[in-house]
């Protein structure tokens, strides 16, 4: 397979609202990001995925767009955006824009028009249906609780919204809609961006009348058509958010012939600490063997065709140390082990802001301290259904999206150096201990661990291109694998838990072995009989 720049790149996701506030209004902004580019350069990343910065009434913090070619007032102006592009360009960093094209805001001019009358030229930009028996057209539900259909008095029809009712779904069957989106994409491509992250891309081929929400029959036609009219011959990074993809579908999305995308995000590894089939709020202990199986499957099935994205965190996910690590007793060890485990895999790694300094989940007592619409809708629905405040909060503490969205912790000053004003969402009270300044001052910090992982990936091509082979598949505590390229072998061995465990490398040999990175100072080189301490995670190189 021809080598692509995005295969050897490291992506850093910024949630602009929470990254850095430059003007004291409590909301992160583009100038704030610009002021921190040198910090990102120091970490060593190549690409920034910028969560949406377009005009938006912020019902879902920018994932409800009212103008795709202008910047949200709170974040700055188009001039600031152009400055961000040129300043990051100077540092060799590309910018991915977050294309939310499955739906718009209800305040987008297209929807304002669409809503006016049944014969408005924009009516078919969205999905309108007559009532059935004086009620909703069918049982489709919104991802943010309740029905996916909202009644509109004016014309006596329902419109479809798979997210909040302020996020009406676009009708991709309408060619005019598809063309509008290509125009938007070309507008941004012309500004010199590095590519797109595409929000809930798997949903654009929906057929609501047949209850088909994802992977509709025309999905890949739409993507190939979009590819031809926009980024197809531009060498950009494109990554689609595709929760329901199987490896087979992913090979299609990331087909090496370049007809669709670079890669997708799939989330199978994020669904293993919930009661199967019951959704994210029904908590269950992590199915560790399940996690290994899922990782093994995706690594293996996309090894020679297609490409994986690698991530633990994003703006919708809990913090990984709180989730799969041991925040209380082995904070450093588990944080570093999880990073090593992920960054040794084959694919393009994504780091979510704050992950590189070991930020953790947050626990606010009052629901009023939460902002996220998914959390608030779920809370209200569950209270109405008789759940107690306490049990709902347990779910929110474990899985709520605001865990990822508390402001970035820059230093130990008030509000963690994020803002001189009052932050839009409270900062995690642990900011005095966990912050950028502390990380940069300690050569043993989580930050320097991530930085080193990035350097190692640059140095050893086996990590980017090598084959993957899982070892110790059935073990209940150890996550271990090999990466092989020509004569070079990388071996990653991780103890996922706090008990000491013994690892015996099946092919221990007399070849020379060295440690590329470990979360303990004195990790052993004796792979034939290795005692792994709590959360010990080591990456070896054998030549």
By beta-carbon distance, which residue lies closest to Ca ion? 29
Per CB under 6 A, 401 contacts ligand TEU: yes
Residue 29 touches which of Ca ion, ligand TEU, none (CB < 5 to 8 A by kind)? Answer: Ca ion
Cβ at position 74, least distance to Ca ion in Å: 6
Of 533, 354, 360, give the one whose Cα is nearest residue 450: 354
Per CB under 5 A, 21 contacts Ca ion: yes
Q: Which of 63, 149, 331, 431 binds ligand TEU (CB under 6 A)?
A: 63
Q: What is the DSSP letter of 148?
A: S
Cβ at position 395, least distance to ligand TEU in Å: 11
Per CB under 6 A, 280 contacts ligand TEU: yes
Per CB under 6 A, 377 contacts ligand TEU: no
Cβ at position 370, least distance to ligand TEU in Å: 14
Instruction: Kindly state the tokens that stand for 392.
Output: 């709902």
Cβ at position 23, least distance to Ca ion in Å: 5
**Identity of the residue, 144 or 410, whose beta carbon is nearer to Ca ion in the bound complex:** 410
Q: Which of 150, 199, 260, 356 is catalytic?
A: 199
Size of the site for Ca ion (CB under 5 A): 5
Residues whose CB falls within 8 Å of the CB of residue 190, separated by 6 or more in sequence, listed in order? none
**Identity of the residue, 200 or 493, whose beta carbon is nearer to ligand TEU in the bound complex:** 200
Per CB under 6 A, 165 contacts ligand TEU: no
Of 156, 182, 42, 57, give the one whose Cα is nearest residue 109: 57
Is residue 532 a contact partner of residue 501, using CB atoms and an 8 Å limit?
yes
Per CB under 5 A, 23 contacts Ca ion: yes
Cβ at position 226, least distance to ligand TEU in Å: 18
Cβ at position 275, least distance to ligand TEU in Å: 15
Residue 21 touches which of Ca ion, ligand TEU, none (CB < 5 to 8 A by kind)? Answer: Ca ion
Per CB under 6 A, 60 contacts ligand TEU: yes
Of 519, 495, 299, 320, give the one whose Cα is nearest residue 404: 320
Per CB under 6 A, 268 contacts ligand TEU: no
Per CB under 6 A, 106 contacts ligand TEU: no
Tell me the backbone φ, ψ of residue 403, rounded to 5 degrees. Answer: -55, -35
Q: Which of 10, 11, 27, 427 binds Ca ion (CB under 5 A)?
A: 27
**Cα 536 to Cα 523: distance, rounded to the nearest angstrom:** 8
- Helix 373-384 / helix 389-399 crossing angle, nearest 10 deg: 150
Per CB under 5 A, 394 contacts Ca ion: no
Is residue 172 a contact partner of residue 407, using CB atoms and an 8 Å limit?
no
Is residue 65 a contact partner of residue 104, using CB atoms and an 8 Å limit?
yes
**Identity of the residue, 241 or 356, whose beta carbon is nearer to ligand TEU in the bound complex:** 241
Count other C-beta atoms under 10 Å from residue 175's C-beta: 9
The residue behind tokens 């303990």 is 520
Q: Which of 241, 356, 402, 482 is catalytic?
A: 241
Per CB under 6 A, 163 contacts ligand TEU: yes
Residue by residue, DSSP assigns 244-306 as: T--HHHHHHHT-TTSSS-SEEE--GGGSSSB-TTS-TTSB----HHHHHHHHHHHHHHTSSSS
Three-class SS state of 109:
helix
How crowded is the C-beta side of 509, counted as CA atoms within 13 Å? 8
Per CB under 6 A, 376 contacts ligand TEU: no
Per CB under 6 A, 100 contacts ligand TEU: yes
Which residues in 308-337 contact ligand TEU (CB under 6 A)? 315-316
CA 373 to chain centre: 18
Per CB under 5 A, 482 contacts Ca ion: no
Residue 23 touches which of Ca ion, ligand TEU, none (CB < 5 to 8 A by kind)? Answer: Ca ion
Per CB under 6 A, 200 contacts ligand TEU: yes
Q: What is the DSSP letter of 218?
A: T
**Cα 167 to Cα 314: distance, rounded to the nearest angstrom:** 21
Q: What is the largest CA-CA distance in the chain?
A: 78
**Cα 306 to Cα 7: distance, rounded to the nearest angstrom:** 11
Count other C-beta atoms under 10 Å from residue 86's C-beta: 11
Query: Catalytic residue at 241?
Result: yes
Cβ at position 22, least distance to Ca ion in Å: 6
Per CB under 5 A, 25 contacts Ca ion: yes
**Identity of the residue, 18 or 518, whose beta carbon is nearer to Ca ion in the bound complex:** 18
Per CB under 5 A, 71 contacts Ca ion: no
**Identity of the residue, 27 or 378, whose beta carbon is nearer to Ca ion in the bound complex:** 27
Strands 537-542 and 488-495: antiparallel
User: Binding residues for Ca ion, per CB under 5 A?
Assistant: 21, 23, 25, 27, 29
User: Binding residues for ligand TEU, per CB under 6 A?
Assistant: 60, 63, 100, 143, 163, 199-200, 241, 243, 280, 315-316, 374, 401
Active site amino acids: 199, 241
């Amino acid at each position: 397979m021809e080598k692509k720049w995005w295969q050897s790149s490291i992506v850093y996701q910024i949630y602009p609202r929470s990254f850095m506030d430059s003007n004291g209004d409590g909301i992160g902004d583009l100038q704030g990001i610009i002021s921190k580019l040198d910090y990102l350069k120091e970490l060593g990343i190549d690409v920034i995925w910028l969560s949406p910065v377009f005009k938006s009434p912020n019902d879902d913090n920018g994932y409800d767009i009212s103008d795709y070619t202008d910047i949200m007032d709170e974040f700055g102006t188009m001039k600031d955006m152009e400055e961000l592009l040129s300043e990051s360009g100077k540092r060799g960093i590309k910018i991915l824009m977050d294309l939310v094209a499955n739906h718009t805001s209800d305040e987008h001019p297209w929807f304002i028009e669409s809503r006016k009358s049944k014969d408005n030229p924009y009516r078919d930009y969205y999905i309108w249906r007559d009532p059935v028996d004086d009620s909703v057209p069918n049982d489709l539900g919104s991802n943010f609780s309740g029905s996916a259909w909202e009644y509109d008095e004016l014309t006596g029809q329902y419109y479809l919204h798979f997210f909040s009712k302020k996020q009406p779904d676009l009708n991709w069957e309408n060619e005019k809609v598809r063309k509008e989106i290509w125009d938007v994409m070309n507008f941004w491509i012309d500004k010199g961006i590095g590519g797109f992250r595409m929000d809930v891309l798997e949903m654009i081929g929906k057929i609501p009348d047949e209850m088909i929400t994802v992977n509709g029959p025309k999905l890949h036609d739409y993507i190939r058509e979009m590819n031809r009219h926009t980024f197809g011959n531009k060498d950009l990074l494109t990554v689609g958010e595709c929760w329901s993809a199987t490896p087979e579908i992913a090979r299609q999305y990331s087909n090496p012939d370049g007809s669709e995308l670079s890669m997708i995000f799939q989330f199978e590894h994020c669904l293993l600490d919930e009661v199967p089939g019951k959704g994210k709020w029904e908590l269950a202990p992590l199915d560790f063997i399940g996690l290994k199986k899922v990782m093994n499957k995706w690594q293996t099935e996309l090894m020679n065709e297609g490409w994986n994205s690698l991530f633990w965190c994003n703006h919708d996910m809990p913090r990984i140390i709180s989730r799969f690590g041991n925040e209380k007793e082995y904070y450093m060890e588990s944080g570093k082990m999880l990073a090593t485990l992920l960054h040794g895999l084959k694919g393009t790694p994504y780091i979510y802001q704050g992950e590189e300094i070991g930020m953790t989940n947050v626990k606010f007592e009052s629901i009023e301290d939460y902002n996220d619409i998914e959390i608030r809708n779920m809370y209200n629905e569950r209270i109405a259904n008789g759940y107690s405040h306490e049990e709902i909060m347990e779910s929110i503490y474990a899985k709520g999206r605001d865990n990822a969205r508390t402001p970035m912790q820059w230093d130990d000053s008030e509000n963690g150096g994020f803002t001189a004003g009052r932050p839009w969402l409270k900062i995690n009270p642990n900011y005095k201990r966990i912050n950028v300044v502390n990380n940069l001052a300690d050569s043993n910090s989580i930050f320097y661990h991530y930085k080193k992982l990035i350097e190692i990936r640059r140095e050893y091509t086996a990590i980017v291109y090598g084959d993957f082979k899982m070892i110790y598949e059935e073990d209940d505590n150890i996550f271990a694998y090999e990466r092989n390229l020509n004569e070079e072998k990388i071996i990653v061995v991780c103890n996922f838990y706090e008990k000491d465990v013994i690892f015996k490398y099946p092919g221990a040999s007399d070849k020379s072995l060295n440690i590329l990175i470990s979360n303990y100072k004195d990790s052993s080189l004796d792979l034939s009989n290795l005692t792994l301490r709590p959360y010990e995670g080591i990456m070896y190189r054998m030549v």
